[in-house]
Chains A and B, each alone.
Chain A
Amino acid sequence: MIKIDQITKSFGQLEVLKGISTEIGKGEVVAIIGPSGSGKSTLLRCINLLEVPTSGQIIINGQAITDPKANVMQIRQQIGMVFQHFHLFPHMTVLNNLTYAPIKVKGMSKDKAEQKAKELLARVGLSDKADAYPSRLSGGQKQRVAIARSLVMEPQIMLFDEPTSALDPEMVKEVLDVMKGLADSGMTMAIVTHEMRFAEEVADRILFLDGGRLVEDAAPADFFQRPQSERAKQFLEKVR
């Protein structure tokens, strides 16, 4: 479904990604882990072109999205993204946060968008917050709204960029539970995370990045029990 072929990304002199290739299959859940500065987030952000790769190709469903002629807006509509700091629109109610893009971008009718939004709010357990403004929500609630906001666009792929890193510890679970439910429903997901236990439990595959290179690409059981590289061993010792 997603084919990443030898992508590199440089910010000025700094080469953050040094030629990464991998594939993510339909319905697959991939956790991207590694030390900070390893290029995890940059890799994720390349998939919806928030960062444009310096070289290499990304092909989604047979379409080269890195082609300069590709319709970026169209591509992004099919890829949901959840950020570390939520980035809900603060001047809109929760409901309007959800219905804005379907109505204004996809041309969905207001009634249909609201109906869909309410279904999704129910799914993330926040039906009672439809008319609240984001500032009234806790971090965990904001993140669940952010997930619902992405889902209402009916994406084929969901990207998560450290979705629980900015949350208080007691709110991490409610967000991970929603993500787990999403994974179980067959959504294709790429997740940058520091939640090792979650990665081990939910992901189908682990990508371990270090210094802009893909060091390991393995099933969770293999990666966590029998890491191949010295770098991954060191990393796992520190985080567990």
Chain B
Amino acid sequence: MDWNFDQIVPYIPFIFEGIKVTLQVTLISVVLGFIWGSVLALIKISKLGPLNWFAVAYTSVFRGTPLILQLSFVYFATPQLTGYSISQWEAAVLTFTLNSAAYISETIRGGILAVDKGQWEAAKALGVPYRRMMLDIILPQGVKNILPALVNETIALLKESALVSTIGLADILQNANVVRGVTFRYLEPYIIAGVLYYVMVMLLTWVARFVERRMRRSD
């Protein structure tokens, strides 16, 4: 086998620069996706007629089409649709937010429905209005139920974020692609990129365990 990292060494910092983009896209999308997903979940549970129908259709479309298609659509079709020339970064965050919200909303919906019915009744009996009850009593418990699932969603998103290289955003994979193009070496840049993704996933898993332990404080 033909190993040769010497040639790659000068480019390693360049590949590392991609970490920032990968993390940014992942974390911002997961936070925004969580907020938007919570809203969708609450709508689905509340039976608000047309809004409910919208939330269900939304989830169905985003889960029923390929992510790479959604990304291409947002990046390439937005200028045509709206005249706004969307940047790669905006397109990436927007797509991943919209997409992860669809998945997260289903997870949160399940988590909310798993909260003991007695909690709803206790809140109602105290005269707590619906909105406050959902935000202060039900949602926090529902989210706690699904914390491991949310972490898995974040990890999945981190890995899927490599798709942004297809619209040319300079994430880890895209920078590895660039190094490949410059050096004509395939093995080494991809191994470095792979190790970076793997380490980040492991770190996330570790952080998740820590957060989970803290949240279980009240058990």
Which stretch, B16-24, B117-125, B146-154, B188-196, touches the partner chain A?
B117-125
Per-residue contact bits, chain A 76-117, to B (CB 8 Å; 1 contact, 0 not): 110111010101111110000000110011000000000000
Instruction: Indicate which residue in A74, A85, A149 contacts B126 across the interface (CB closer than 8 Å).
Output: A149
Residues of chain A contacted by B219 (CB below 8 angstroms) = 90, 133, 135
Q: Is A50 an interface residue (CB 8 A)?
A: yes
Residues of chain B contacted by A76 (CB below 8 angstroms) = 124-127
Q: Is B4 an interface residue (CB 8 A)?
A: no
Give the residue among B122, B123, B124, B144 with the most A Cβ atoms within 10 A.
B122
Residues of chain B contacted by A50 (CB below 8 angstroms) = 121, 124-125
Nearest A residue to B118, CB-CB: A87
Residues of chain B contacted by A80 (CB below 8 angstroms) = 125
Which stretch, B32-40, B76-84, B128-136, B198-206, touches the partner chain A?
B128-136
B125/A89 in contact, CB under 8 A: no
Size of chain B's interface in residues, with CB distance under 8 A?
A: 21
Residues of chain B contacted by A133 (CB below 8 angstroms) = 217-219
A105/B141 in contact, CB under 8 A: no
Nearest B residue to A76, CB-CB: B127
In the docked arrangement, what's the CA distance between A188 and B47, Å? Answer: 37
Given contacts A85-B118, A104-B136, A133-B218, contact A74 B124 (CB under 8 A): no
Q: Which of A194-217 contact B (CB under 8 A)?
A: none
B58 vs chain A, min Cβ distance (A) = 29
Q: Is A239 an interface residue (CB 8 A)?
A: no
In the docked arrangement, what's the CA distance between A107 and B144, Å? Answer: 28
Instruction: Indicate which residue in B116, B144, B217 contacts A87 across the interface (CB closer than 8 Å).
Output: B116
Residues of chain B contacted by A100 (CB below 8 angstroms) = 126, 136
B127/A101 in contact, CB under 8 A: yes
A81/B136 in contact, CB under 8 A: no
Q: Is B56 an interface residue (CB 8 A)?
A: no
- A residues touching B (Cβ–Cβ < 8 Å)? 48, 50, 73-77, 79-81, 83, 85, 87-92, 100-101, 104-105, 133-135, 149-150, 153
Q: Which 7 A-B pairs have the closest CB atoms?
A: A77-B127, A87-B122, A87-B118, A81-B125, A76-B127, A101-B126, A133-B218
